[in-house]
Structure 1
Amino acid sequence: MSKICFFDTKPYDRTYFDSYKEQFGFEIDYFEPKLNADTAIMARGYEVVVAFVNDTIDAKTIDILYEEGVRLIAMRCAGYNNIDFKAAYGKIHVVRVPAYSPYAVAEHAMALLLTLNRKIHRAYNRTREHNFSLNGLTGFDLHGKTMGVIGTGKIGRIFIDICKGFGMEVLAYDPYPAKDAGLHYVSVEELCRRSDVISLHCPLTKDTWHLINKDTLQLMKKGTYIINTSRGALINSEDLLHAIKEEQIGGAVLDVYEEETEFFYEDLSGEIIKDDILSGLISMPNVIVTSHQAFLTKEALNNIAEITLQNIKDYAEGAGLPNEICYRCTKLDHCDKNEKNRCF
């Protein structure tokens, strides 16, 4: 096995994967379409598919891939909520990149907050038109404010360190608190009531789906800012839009959106966006939306390419798969892999 097919290819993908493919001894065929049940047939003759978090890897897609000879899906990302693992189990191994650069995502979250708070995006557009007025550009000091962080994995803890550097007080929530981290853990409800800014850094599960909704939004202080650089469906977008229109929420910065698959990573500048909620959020003066770009640093792209290809090499050589996940992994704290350190 030396040939790999790669779905949803972007120019930066080619740049970084091409820089490593000879080192690992692979040939890569790059396909522009996203992976789904309609495009899975393109993987015929390949044993390995490289996919992304916005691909649709449901049971139908998996069945087609398996019939065409695919035995490994290598996710070039950390997220995997788009995969039907139960359908894949026993047929196709699934590996991912669990950590590529937590600094990239944490720093982007703070960059978004600073941009929204200090109205940098508006000031940039004004001065390009020679408008040097300061009216409407007033922000607030982060120093002394309370940041609520939901999710204290690697990214969440790095973001907390950044917040502490600004002199912020930090409240944290996580169903699995980090031991000896010195963090002040509280309930979701208390975090919502006390925080001036809330930042989401948790995975999307059945327990975190729409964690931010009309009920939790009503608990928040009037004027609270919300940051989401994790997964779009952590927030009920319709509820958020309503809370912004009612001025319950002071602003939001979103690098993800729950229905982003058909929009993000694509140039739709000449088209009408038919998603009224996304259009409504983008139209708000106190909302900033970026296109799932928090991971996009040179360091992260290097790590993604190198770890993805190492995952594939491990599979090709019959070695253990330390970055493999299956439906049992998503239900338990650990997965009892077989003697080859594989899920099956």
Structure 2
Amino acid sequence: MNTSARKKAHDNLSDQQHKNIAFFSTRSYEHALFSELLETLNGASDKTINATFFEHPLNASTAASCSGFSDVVVFVNDDINRKTIEALKLCGVKHIALRCAGFNNVDVDAAAKAGITVSRVPAYSPETVAEHTIALILTLNRKTHKAYNRVREGNFNLGGLMGFTLHGKTVGVIGTGKIGQAVIRILLGFGCHVLCFDPHPNNDVTTMGAHYVTLNELLEKSVIVTLHCPLNEQSHHIINAKSIDKMPQGVMLINTSRGGLVDDNAIIKGLKSKKIGYLGLDVYERESELFFNDHSQDIIQDDIFQRLTTFPNVLITGHQGFFTLEALEEIAKITVNNIMTGENAL
């Protein structure tokens, strides 16, 4: 964190009372970043923030452990439903700070009724997720993951590794927020024709050279479709059997946004029929039971996820699109600032 950012956070802290914060679903890399930031703030002020880090998630069963904490910091797979919020209220929690952009795992209405503020990190290095999106596209297309394994085994046969040239291809971007726009800039740099769909068009997108169309037209004309929209009632399973049927044969589908945007059963049928020629996922609808943990010694009970991994044209990463040093530092800075100032409240 740079000097100006530390000073701003310190200035915000100086006006606050003593705070006890509980972090949930915390991994070692997050623990280190937040601890360093909080140590700097505490060392520069006569006020202190006491932080407790838990590896387990926050949900209705674990919320009772929050007594004595003024704020809780949660991540994408913590389950902040009505029962969780009721328990947090009884514990005296006043603020739920999401260290992520999405908030579909929080009952915002229940939190408002309970008098608990909810904040999030609306934008953090959008290029980070955009670059991971392009990495999935290029890896699936040019099959570099398969080529890597072949060469290590001394196999230099190119059979089965043929890809296609991105230049001149039509790519559909669903959702044109900050991440969507970052993806569009990269795709335009490759020389792609970019079609966009968003209920709220942005003039910056058209200025860049992309074109807004209806969702149906985007699905019908795009050889690659990539998702960058929030998960809500309108977007839930926006990719389903009907939308897949509109896509060209052999389409590439990429999702680095939220797992619930796609209907997994429809995706599997699309893969089996070869309607979907390539599938890249960094998110999964039931990822809370899988991602961010080591299950290498376990028998995974999710049959749909296991089925997806059997397809040779499917590439899945474990929600790592956000995972760069720059993004994590930005997330930590904004999260702490939200706690101290009440900014980015929903």
Under a length normalisation based on structure 1, what TM-score does the superposition of the two structures give? Answer: 0.91
Amino acid of the residue matched to residue 85 of structure 2? I
| Corresponding residue number in structure 1 for 2:32 | 15
Aligned partner (choices 241, 245, 248) of residue 268 of structure 2: 241
Distance in 1, matches of 2:28 and 2:167, equals 40
Deviates more, 1:126-135 or 1:27-36: 126-135
User: How far 1:300 sits from its partner (Å)?
Assistant: 0.4
Residue of structure 2 equivalent to 1:64: 87
Give the 3-state SS of the residue equivalent to 2:322 in structure 1: coil
**How much has 1:221 moved relative to structure 2?**
0.3
SS in 2 for 1:105: helix
CA contact (8 A) 2:196 2:218 kept: yes
Aligned to 2:100: 77
User: Does the 8 Å CA contact 1:96/1:323 hold for their aligned counterparts?
Assistant: yes
Q: Aligned equivalents of 2:337 and 2:40: distance in 1?
A: 10
1:259 and 2:286 aligned: yes
The SS at the match of 2:85 is helix
**2:125 is the alignment partner of 1:101:** yes
Q: Conserved in 2, the CA contact under 8 Å of 1:172 and 1:191?
A: yes
One-letter amino acid of the structure 1 residue matched with residue 146 of structure 2: R
Gap runs ≥5 in structure 1 = 315-320, 326-344
Q: How far is 1:53 from its partner?
A: 1.1
Deviations 1:269-319 (A, max 9, x none): 1111111111111111100010111000111000011111111111xxxxx
Find 2:331's aligned residue among 294, 298, 304.
304
Superposition RMSD in Å:
1.0
Equivalence map 1:1-344=2 (5 Å): 1-25=18-42, 26-90=49-113, 91-182=115-206, 183-314=210-341, 321-325=342-346
2:21 alignment partner, SS class? strand
For the 8 Å contact 1:123–1:137, the answer to whether it is kept is: yes
Counterpart of 1:229 in structure 2: which amino acid?
T
Distance in 2 between residues matched to 1:100 and 1:3, nearest whole Å: 25
**Other structure's SS at 1:149 match:** strand
Separation in structure 2 between the aligned mates of residue 24 and residue 74 of structure 1, nearest angstrom:
18
Opposite residue 98 of structure 1, the aligned amino acid is P
Q: Deviations over 1:11-57 (max 9, x none)?
A: 11112111210233322111110110111112111011000111000
Structure 1 contact 172–185 (Cα < 8 Å) conserved: yes
Q: What SS does the aligned partner of 2:172 have?
A: strand
d(CA) in 2 for partners of 1:51, 1:146: 38
| Cα pair 1:74 1:308 within 8 Å, conserved | yes
- SS of match in other structure, 2:69: coil
Do the aligned partners of 1:171 and 1:185 also contact (CA within 8 Å) in 2? Answer: yes
Unaligned runs of 5+ in 2: 1-17, 43-48
Q: Distance in 2 between matches of 1:180 and 1:297?
A: 26
SS of equivalent to 2:22: strand
SS at 1:89 equivalent? helix
* Residue 69 of structure 1, CA deviation: 1.1
Shift of 1:180: 4.5
Distance in structure 1 (CA, Å) of the matches to 2:262 and 2:150: 31
Q: What secondary structure, in the 3-state scheme, does the structure 1 residue paired with 2:203 have?
A: coil
Normalising by structure 2, we get a TM-score of 0.91
Contact 1:72 1:94 in 2 (8 A): yes
2:337–2:343 contact (8 Å) kept in structure 1 = no
**Secondary structure at 1:324's aligned position in 2?**
coil
In 1, distance between residues paired with 2:321 and 2:178?
Answer: 15
Segments of 4+ in structure 1 off by > 4 A? none
The 3-state SS of whatever aligns with 2:52 is strand
Q: Percent identity?
A: 50
Q: Which amino acid aligns with 2:162?
A: T
> Could you say which structure has the higher helix fraction?
2
